[in-house]
Structure 1
Amino acid sequence: MPGKTPRVVLLDDYQGVALKMADWSGLGDRVQIEQVRVPLGRPEEVVERLAGVEIVIAMRERTSFDAKVMDLLPDLKLLVTTGMVNASIDMEAARERGVVVCGTPGSRGAAAEHAWALLMAVARCIPEEVDGLRSGDPAWQRTVGIELRGRTLGIAGFGNLGQRMARFGKAFDMDVAAWSRSLTETVAQEHGVRCMGSLDELLSVSDVLSLHLPLNSHTRGMIGAAELSRMKQGRILINTARGPIVDETALISALENGHLGGAGLDVFEIEPLPADHSFRSLRNVVATPHVGYVTQETYEIYFHGAVEAVGAYLDGAPIRVLND
């Protein structure tokens, strides 16, 4: 906006670390930077907070920008998303309204590490044992865990994260099976895993099912009551991909009736997770607040890329444009 220093708003900086993760000094006094440390849930909250703002930096898909929201933000000119994919931004609507959407580089493996951490926590009942130790439970030990060695790790989705998960499984002497619509026998053999011909086949052999799929029209609701019933009694589900891939009602039922032995979850249908949600209280669930990608290394990559994107925009030559 002529005559005004552009305002840059860093959304969803829950930990208040964005300004420490990159060198913002290169932008000098060309911008006025503001941080938002709490979720902006309703569209009205987003519009109210971003009124008059020219540049917004969005952390992954935590805040939605659809056509209606952008219609009420006429001053918005640049929207930077961390990462190169963001299903919460209507790219076409942004293009039609003259809003440039730019991405940043991203982590290659943080989410897979978190998926493995959730699996270990579920298998060895770590949260419950930690709770007992801290509370001074005189029983001293509460649970009996399971070993992963010799069990079958089923991986749905075999891109970078699925392949990384496979390497973890093999390091723990697990049998690894994988399925995706594009997985071929040749690729599976290259990674030393068994190629399953269908999702049903993968479900039937998995002692642990780990999801590493994108959310789209094919995968939304892919794991429902029928699919969960095909897993053997007492098995484990890990989801660090996207919440809506799994039917939450069906998953809660399978956990409550004991058909599933446990679940490690980092993603949910609604985020932040409602205070009264079953996933907060089920003892066979280890749930984390979508922190699979929340690491110092990933944040440094994200925010360095964000600084680059803002600087390039101010110079009149936007980079990594996603909606051109």
Structure 2
Amino acid sequence: MRIVVLDDYQRVARGYGPFDALPDADVEVLHEHLDDPDALVAALRGAQVVAAMRERTPFPAALFDRLPDLRLLITTGMANASIDLAAARAHGVTVCGTSLSGSARSSNTAELTWALILAVQRHVTTEDRALRDGRWQTTIGTDLNGATLGVLGLGRLGTQVARIGQAFDMRVIAWSANLTPERAAGAGVEYVDRDELFADSDVLTVHLKLSDRTTGLVGAAELARMKPSAVLINTSRGPIVDRNALVSALTAGTIAGAGLDVYDVEPLPAGDPLRGAPNTVLLPHLGYVTDRTYRVMYQQIVEDIEAWRAGAPLRVLS
């Protein structure tokens, strides 16, 4: 049985995953991202099992057409918008995921969200570079205490981020299409309408799932409603925020800054205009990249393979 593990950028898959426990398995781990469909097909040719890292590698219907040997596709996480599940079923491919239980599912991304908020508001990366260059105290930070935290999407992750904002004695407000005042109040958060969220927030943080409804939800009009002193944080999915509108707002100074962990295309291309946008902290999609998460994900990848081979697949995505 040939198994291919995709996108192991850090070269840690074999250390975290007990692949040696799989008898008669030929396991190949790819360390570079393959965004060319022909190169991807060549790399996966003959593989019965493929393990994909999050949504880095799309699996549309056309790709399944070209992978006749594929029988099991595993994605880290329990949802992957980049996989055409209907096409997988039509081609006889079982799609399984991996999961974390309880608060662990959101704590790593919530923690990174606050790392970005603090880094942007206190100019952490700017001051780090300045100090290494021999300069001292080149910026002035912005207080969080008494400021307004706007949470776009008050689900499990958004609620956790909101609680931390409350610990900083921030006013916390929230809106999403399905949020009600009662649900917001249950989290100790003030419900506002969409326009108020963008107009009142000093820090606006995005915590929505990517869908047709949320793609481009934060566009030029929404950014224009924000205060010139406000910052935008996105640790959810890149396409929720209109990239070109964000670059324009940052360049014009109509918002004060942004902290981003997610992008329209990942890895972020060398020529992407976000790389040159002012007052930004950019991270390479690290929200879920922690030791605990990797231990669970790679262990469950092997469990998924073993269960599938035994005829009783686990964590099957519908």
Q: Residue 106 of structure 2: which of 105, 108, 112 is its match?
A: 108
Match of 2:256 in 1: 261
How much does 1:283 deviate?
A: 3.2
Of the three residues 37, 46, 68, the one matched with 1:43 is: 37
Q: Displacement of 1:287 after TM fit?
A: 0.5
Q: How does 1:194-213 map to 2 (within 5 A)?
A: 194-196=190-192, 198-213=193-208
1:165 aligns with 2:169: no
Give the partner amino acid of 1:174: M
Distance 2:158 2:41 in 1: 37
Deviation at 1:312, TM superposition (A): 0.3
- Matches of 1:152 and 1:45 in 2, distance apart? 47
> For residues 317 and 218 of structure 2, what CA distance do their matches in structure 1 show?
30
Quick one: distance in 1 between partners of 2:209 and 2:195?
18
Kept in 1, the 8 Å contact 2:250–2:278? The answer is: no
**Displacement, 1:111?**
1.2
Instruction: Report the counterpart of residue 179 of structure 1 in structure 2.
Output: 175
Gaps of 5+ in 2: none
2:128 to 127, 130, 134: 130
Structure 1 position 133, deviation (Å): 1.3
1:178-257 equivalence runs, <5 A: 178-196=174-192, 198-257=193-252
Which segment is superposed worse, 299-308 or 51-60?
Answer: 299-308
Give me the whole-angstrom Cα distance separating, in 2, the residues matched to 1:258 and 1:209.
16
- Show structure 1 runs of 5+ residues with no match: 1-5
* Corresponding letter in the other structure for 1:271: E
CA contact 1:21–1:296 (8 Å) conserved in 2: no
Mapped pair 1:322 → 2:317: yes
Output one character per residue of 1:44-82: Cα deviation in whole Å (capped at 9) or x when no partner. Answer: 121010011110000100001111111111110000001
TM-score (norm 1): 0.94
AA paired with 1:113?
Answer: E
Deviation at 1:103, TM superposition (A): 0.8
**2:236 and 2:10 mapped to 1: Cα distance?**
22
| Counterpart AA for 1:93 | A
TM-score (normalised: structure 2): 0.96
Identity percentage of aligned residues: 50
Quote the Cα distance in structure 2 between the aligned partners of 1:269 and 1:183. Answer: 26
Partner of 1:97: 91
Q: Aligned letter for 1:252? A: V
Q: How does 1:14-25 map to 2 (within 5 A)?
A: 14-25=9-20
1:265 CA displacement: 0.5
1:3 match? none
How many residues matched? Answer: 314
Q: Aligned partners of 2:174 and 2:79: how far apart in 1?
A: 24
**Are 2:70 and 1:82 aligned?**
no
Aligned position for 1:145: 141
CA distance in 2, matches of 1:234, 1:257: 12
**In structure 2, what is the Cα distance between the partners aligned to 1:109 and 1:180?**
21
Contact 2:251 2:278 in 1 (8 A): no
Secondary structure, counterpart of 2:106 in structure 1: coil
Deviation readout 1:169-196 (Å, 9 max, x if unpaired):
0111111001122222222122111011
Alignment pair present for 1:301 and 2:296 = yes
The CA distance in 1 between the partners of 2:170 and 2:196, in whole Å, is 18
Deviation at 1:245, TM superposition (A): 0.7
Task: Give the match for residue 276 of structure 2.
Answer: 281
* RMSD value, Cα: 1.1
Deviations 1:262-284 (A, max 9, x none): 00001111111121222222330
